[in-house]
A and B are shown apart, each in its own frame.
Chain A
Amino acid sequence: MARLTKKDIGGFLARQGILVAFALFIIGFTIANERFLDPDNIMGVIRSSAILGVMALGVTFVVISGNLDLSVGSMMSFSTIVVLDLHDKIGPAMAIPAMFAMTLALGAFIGFLVAYLKLNSLIVTLGMLSAIHGLTLTYSGGKNMDIADKEGTWFSVFGQGDIMGISVPILIFLLLAAFLGVLLAKTPFGRKVYSVGGNGTAATFSGVRRARVVFSCYLISAFCVATAGLLQASRSLGSQNTVGQGLELEVLAAVILGGASLLGGSGTIFKTVIGVLILGFITNGLLLVGLEFYVQFVVTWVIIILAVWLDIAAKRGKLWSPIA
């Protein structure tokens, strides 16, 4: 084996600056509170990040393809409310596929508007953010949705179950991340997603059917949202109509933190997972440190900026650059 040279280390840093930032935060929080590294805590953080994480996986595809999806938060509220409502009406075994079908239909609608009608994705999904919220409220009549028999349903397995000591939401998150990671990195479809987002015109001239790729990305995003809704519903077995409100920005923050470019064409599933974990551990770490919560908002922002800075600094090999 070749020895690690300075260049190798530099190259590693340049590629994985965000990992370095992540490691630094972990060390910092561990010093601040020794319980931070408690296995129960680590598992707890990953479990509660899983919902955000699953959504971020889908949005990663959309962002790499050069578009945005701001509707995922209210779409997740929709899936959660629908599956909880149908659980008592038609039973969980039917409710889950029905909810997935409805959520995918929403995703297909958005995909149609953005991919085939070529409408601006920011406007389309921003509009859908409130339209789907309205849809959810109309569906539920504004009431909180709760499963009547909380003790006797197997539905709770997705959000609360364990398989070999690992909680099911974590397993679902990791399996989906592995599957989508391979889809994005190792298949012709994945390469088309990058090419469409990197240079759409060039992709078209190379024979890539751009609309179809973008449409598929929105379907993937909707599938992830439906999965997140399932986890959410199963975890608390009841929900407000606003459960996903504001998550679209957290999801986007995680994806961008992971290094995906808002302009499209770059980003990976692995880095998105790291971005999700950073956000999850910041929230948890600040709670454990016990900072006053008004201060937490500011500190969260500072940490995110630090992470982005470290990532960029690693890429260009120095902390500060006179040229942008």
Chain B
Amino acid sequence: MNYRKALAATTAAAALTIGSAAVADTMTIGITQNNVGVDSYQTTYEKAFIEAAEANENVEAVVLDAGGDVARQIAQMEDLIQQEVDAIIIWPTNGEAVIPAVRKAHNAGIPVIVTNSNIAEQGFDFVASFSGPDNITQGKRSAEIMCDKFKDMGIADEAKVVHITGQPGYTTAIERAKGFDDRLPEVCPNVEQIDKQPGDWNREKSQKVMEAFLVKYDDIDGVYAGDDNMGVGALNAAKAAGREGIIFVGATNFAVGYEAMERGEYWGSIYQSPVDDAKAALKTAVETLEGKDLPFLNYFDTPKITQDNMGEYDKPVF
């Protein structure tokens, strides 16, 4: 049964039965994901989402995947609107191109929740709320991890850092880079960022970039990579070149990053769980439908993880 109609009906029928009666009705929540299967994060996310939806007996989920294709995602949005789902969760394939489809859902009275990576600002009017990691804070926290380590080592006044970013043009890449670039000079004003190049979220590409950095600079004390996959690529390059003592800090702790931390080769990262991400998206959608007053931006916490505190965290499954 359609949740919105149910809600309207219940409210009209009896002012005596307080809202909770409507909540007992099934709500249909559609999700169109970015590209399941392209990496382990997204694969784990989808599994966790389906599990969370099954665990909630009031939720019926329609799970779709756009396969990274903007056109397909827009078509899926239209399908979900046709099916009159109660809410739509979208993991945008592209922050700009999906806005018209989001607007269409909004105009049809279906609340849209954006998950993981936000759409562009001009579409905010059509979005009920965003749920995901705060990438600017992640970048800042990585800068703090790096700076704290330099202070421990006593090189906070002279250290030189290179920076490997995600794919140019991607919101997550831009935000993490911005957080790092802004925060590092605040906490460690004398640390110099000597170069910044994209590794495109790709381990092999990142390894190539790092190889060039190693040739170009004799002194590199720290490497910040936009995620652990690239961080490990950079680490591989440093190991192959026999350069030791470099501090590697990443983000989105992957299993390979966690293992490198266990071996003592990789200093720290940001712990971001796709399971938390998926659960937060579903929770945000459910609470929106329940009429709770939510902030526009709902961030789930992504704590710092380093060799010092990694025992508190399970090894990532992806």
Contact = CB atoms under 8 A, between A and B. Distances in A.
B294 interface: no
Nearest to A42: B215
A288 interface: yes
A290 B162 CA distance: 12
Interface string A23-48: 00000000001010010110010001
B208 A35 contact: no
A235 B232 CA distance: 12
B42 A243 contact: no
Given A240-B202, A294-B168, A144 B215 contact: no
Contacts of B183: none
A212 interface: no
A294 B169 CA distance: 10
Contact of A144 (B195, B240, B318): B318
B198 A293 contact: yes
Nearest to B194: A290
Given A160-B240, A243-B204, A142 B215 contact: no
A126 interface: no
A236 B215 contact: no
A142 B42 contact: yes
Contacts of B168: 293-294
B204 A232 contact: yes
Contacts of B241: 40
A143 interface: yes
A137 B211 contact: no
A35 B216 contact: yes
Contact of B236 (A236, A243, A284): A236
A241 interface: yes
A290 B40 contact: no
B167 to A, nearest CB: 11
Nearest to A284: B212
Interface string B197-227: 1100011100111011101100000000000
B203 A240 contact: yes
B190 interface: no
Contacts of B204: 232, 235-236, 243
A144 to B, nearest CB: 5
Interface string A235-265: 1101111110000000000000000000000
B37 interface: yes
Contacts of B254: 144
Contacts of B198: 293
B219 to A, nearest CB: 14
B252 to A, nearest CB: 12
A238 B216 contact: no
Contacts of A242: 38-39, 202
A238 B256 contact: yes
Contacts of A41: 212, 215
A293 B197 contact: yes
Interface string A283-316: 1100110100110000000000000000000000
Given A44-B215, A240-B229, A288-B212, A146 B197 contact: no
A239 B229 CA distance: 9
Contacts of B232: 238
Contact of A48 (B195, B202, B208): B208
Nearest to A247: B204
B43 interface: yes
Which of B43, B204, B229 gathers most chain A CB within 10 Å?
B204
A293 B216 CA distance: 16
B209 A239 contact: no
B215 A238 contact: no
Contact of B256 (A146, A287, A288): A146
A127 to B, nearest CB: 15
Contacts of A144: 39-40, 229, 254-256, 318
Which of A141, A144, A284 gathers most chain B CB within 10 Å?
A144
30 contacts: A35-B215, A38-B215, A41-B212, A44-B211, A44-B215, A48-B211, A137-B37, A141-B43, A142-B39, A142-B40, A142-B42, A160-B240, A232-B204, A235-B207, A240-B39, A240-B202, A241-B39, A242-B38, A242-B39, A242-B202, A284-B208, A284-B212, A287-B209, A287-B212, A287-B216, A288-B212, A288-B216, A290-B195, A293-B168, A293-B197
Interface of A: 33, 35, 38, 40-41, 44, 48, 137, 141-144, 146, 150, 160, 232, 235-236, 238-243, 283-284, 287-288, 290, 293-294
Given A38-B215, A240-B203, 8 more contacts: A35-B216, A141-B37, A160-B240, A238-B256, A242-B39, A243-B203, A290-B195, A293-B197
Q: Which 9 residue pairs across A and B have the least CB separation, nearest first?
A: A142-B37, A142-B43, A287-B212, A137-B37, A41-B215, A143-B40, A144-B40, A44-B211, A48-B208
